[in-house]
Amino acid sequence: MPNRVFRDRSDAGHALAALLDGYRGRSDTLVLALPRGGVPVAFEVARALGAPLDVFTVRKLGVPGHAELAMGAIASGGVKVLNDQVVRLSGVDEAAIARVAEHESAELHRRERAYRGDRPPPELEGRTVLLVDDGLATGSTMRAAIQAVRGLGPANLVVAVPTGAASTCRELGALVDEMVCATNPEPFYAVGQSYRRFEQTSDDEVRELLGRSLAA
């Protein structure tokens, strides 16, 4: 569905859950959110499907001086994915990539401690994992998450987002068992164009939603 606009991330989560209804009530299903923006979306998906919710931490590697431009991403488990085309066109050398990766790795570990505390990561082997974010632009962070989660042995891996660039959804769809995207705006400028409200999700909101999901 092109050019659909959601009220906020919660509204997007409701819409996405409707497209994932086939997973409702399945005991093998786990919803994994990419924090921070993916958590409010995934919370509504998990609640609608009656599935547990957890987070899978991924950090974008921004081009030095142009941090909004993703040259790759890192994920839990030491996974690093680079966009070779962006790296080449930006002229970024290996030393600069390593510096950015070191900085983002520190933030990745901080977030894992902040969101999970002493709670161990979920067991993914043999399960159906729904990887949820608030949208896909270049797809670098989701690509890193897919690679990392694949290595943990899920039986089925599904990527589900409310909005994304059509080309990115096609590319990532080839890497997973199912790709679910509620809207593909044309032309696609940014994830935020599909939301009326798209403010930053805070660490406190992530912790609150995870706590509410665990208590349900």
Region 111-117: mean pLDDT is 87
Predicted confidence (pLDDT) per residue in 2-33, tens digit:
689 999 999 999 999 999 999 999 999 999 99
**CATH number, domain 9-58+121-215, options 3.40.50.720, 3.90.180.10, 3.40.50.2020, 3.30.70.260:** 3.40.50.2020
189 in helix, strand or coil?
A: coil
Region 155-163: mean pLDDT is 98
User: What values do phi and psi take at 31, rounded to 5?
Assistant: -95, 120
- Per-domain residue ranges of the chain: 9-58+121-215, 60-115
Determine what percent of the chain is predicted with pLDDT higher than 90: 74
Within 13 Å of residue 198, how many CA atoms lie on the same side as its CB? 14
Instruction: Report the C-alpha gap between 206 and 82 in whole angstroms.
Output: 27
